[in-house]
C-alpha cells in the first residue's frame, strides 16, 4: 500500500494497514503516525460538514500536537477521530491511534480559516544559507543501517553532524522531500517531512543510544492547500537544540518553502537514554 493509499484509508478512520518499511527503530516513523492521524481528523471534519454544513469549507491546518504514548509497529492500527468543536473561525479535533487494544498515539489539531488582520509580524528566523538541493547528495537507504523510512523520505544534510558521532554541534540543517514525488504537497506531506530528520541532539551522543519523540507540535505558517506547492519541491530545514538534561532534550525547527516563505515551526520533547 502506497503512502497515498494509507492516507486515503486513514481519512475514513477505523482499521488501517501500515506497510512494512515505514519504521524508525522498532516503531512506526513518527511523521507517518502524525500524517495518518491528521488525515483521519480531516476526514472526520469532512463527514461533519457533509451532515451539518459546518464548516462550510475545510480550514487550513494551523497546529497539530502528537503525543507518542507507546511504540506502534507495522501492521494493523485503529484510528478514531472526533470533532471537538466547530467555531465560526476555528475547528478543533482529536484522534487516537490504537494497536492491539492499546493507545499508541494521540493527536490534537486546530484548523483555522484565513481572516483579514491588521497584525503582521515578519518571521524573525531568516531563510538558512543552503546550496541548491540538487547539489547535495541525499542520504542513501542502506538496509539494517539507516532508518527504514529513508526508502520514502529524501534527506540532504548540510549543517550538523551524523547521529551518535560525539559532535559538539547541536543543530542540523538541510533539505528534505519525498522520493516518490506527488503532484502537489499536502498538509499531510508537510507533517511527514517535518519529522523526517533525526533529533538534533543525537549527534552529541558518542556511540549508539536509543531515543524517541515524546511530544511533538507542528505549527503551519504557510497555507498548504490544493495545488499551491508542487510535489517536486524540497523543504529547507533548520533545527536547534534548546536544552538537554535529565534524559530529555527539547528542540525547535523551522521549515521553509524553496521560495523562502516560512512554512512551519516544529517543537519536540525527546527522550534520550544516554
Question: What is the domain partition of the chain in residue ranges?
Answer: 1-113, 128-274
Q: pLDDT 10s per residue in the chain (274 long)?
A: 799 999 999 999 999 999 999 999 889 999 999 999 999 999 999 999 999 999 999 999 999 999 999 999 999 999 999 999 999 999 999 999 999 999 999 999 999 998 888 888 888 889 999 999 999 999 999 988 889 999 999 999 999 999 999 999 999 999 999 999 999 999 999 999 999 999 999 999 999 888 889 999 999 999 898 789 999 999 999 999 999 999 999 999 999 999 999 999 999 999 998 7
Topology of the domain covering 128-274: Porin (2.40.160)
Residue from 186, 184, 190 nearest 232 by CA: 184
By C-alpha distance, which of 151, 149, 191, 152 is closest to 37? Answer: 191
Cα-Cα-Cα-Cα dihedral of 74, 75, 76, 80, to 10°? 20
| Whole-prediction pTM | 0.95
For residue 239, give the nearest of 179, 199, 272 by alpha carbon. 199
Cell of 177: 522531500
264 Cβ contact list (under 8 Å, min separation 6) = 190, 194, 218, 219, 220, 221, 222, 254, 255
Q: Which residues pair with 26 in a beta bridge?
A: none
The 8-class DSSP code of residue 141 comes to P
CATH number of 1-113: 3.10.129.10
Amino acid at each position: 500500500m502506497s503512502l497515498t493509499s494509507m492516507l486515503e484509508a486513514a481519512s475514513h478512520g477505523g482499521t488501517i494497514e501500515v506497510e512494512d518499511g515505514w519504521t524508525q527503530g522498532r516503531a512506526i516513523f513518527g511523521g507517518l503516525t502524525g500524517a495518518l492521524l491528521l488525515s483521519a481528523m480531516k476526514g472526520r471534519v469532512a463527514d461533519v460538514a457533509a451532515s451539518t454544513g459546518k464548516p462550510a469549507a475545510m480550514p487550513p491546518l494551523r497546529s497539530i500536537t502528537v503525543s507518542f504514548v507507546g511504540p506502534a509497529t507495522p501492521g494493523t492500527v485503529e484510528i478514531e477521530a472526533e470533532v471537538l468543536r466547530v467555531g465560526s473561525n476555528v475547528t478543533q479535533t482529536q484522534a487516537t491511534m490504537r494497536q492491539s487494544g492499546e493507545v499508541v498515539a494521540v493527536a490534537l489539531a486546530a484548523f483555522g480559516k484565513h481572516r483579514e488582520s491588521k497584525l503582521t509580524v515578519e518571521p524573525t528566523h531568516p531563510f538558512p544559507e543552503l546550496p541548491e538541493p540538487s547539489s547535495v547528495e541525499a542520504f542513501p537507504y542502506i538496509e539494517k543501517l539507516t532508518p527504514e523510512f529513508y526508502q520514502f523520505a529524501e534527506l540532504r544534510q548540510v549543517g550538523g553532524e551524523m547521529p551518535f558521532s560525539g559532535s559538539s554541534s547541536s543543530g542540523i540543517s538541510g533539505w528534505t522531500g519525498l522520493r516518490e514525488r506527488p503532484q502537489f504537497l499536502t498538509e499531510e506531506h508537510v507533517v511527514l517531512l517535518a519529522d523526517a530528520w533525526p533529533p538534533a541532539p543525537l549527534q552529541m551522543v558518542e556511540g549508539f543510544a536509543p531515543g524517541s519523540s515524546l511530544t511533538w507540535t507542528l505549527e503551519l505558517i504557510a497555507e498548504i492547500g490544493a495545488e499551491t506547492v508542487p510535489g517536486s519541491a524540497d523543504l529547507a530545514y533548520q533545527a536547534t537544540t534548546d536544552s538537554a538534561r535529565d534524559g530529555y532534550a527539547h528542540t525547535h525547527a523551522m521549515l521553509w518553502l524553496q521560495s523562502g516563505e516560512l512554512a512551519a515551526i516544529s517543537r519536540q520533547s525527546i527522550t534520550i537514554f544516554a
